[in-house]
Homo-oligomer: A and B are copies of this chain.
């Protein structure tokens, strides 16, 4: 995965951090120079390494927000 060029355009926020300093973040990322997409995944403290994750469109985030707002968390 590290061979795919990417650029973090915006860090929307961090939703957790583990003992090793890896953070689960929602970012706006451009992959391979394409139009940026939202992206939810873990990152090492220096943003050098990434874990598995999902890319999400704004519409998917809207649907996810609706789901979460209906949950008893």
Where the two chains meet, the residues of A that have a C-beta atom closer than 8 Å to any C-beta of B are: 12-16, 24, 26, 40-42, 51-54, 56-65, 67-69, 71, 73
Contact = CB atoms under 8 A, between A and B. Distances in A.
Contact of A61 (B12, B51, B73): B73
Contacts of A42: 54
**Among A13, A16, A53, A67, which residue has the most Cβ atoms of chain B within 10 A?**
A67
A40 B73 CA distance: 16
Contact of A54 (B13, B24, B61): B24
A43 to B, nearest CB: 12
A33 to B, nearest CB: 21
Contacts of A51: 54
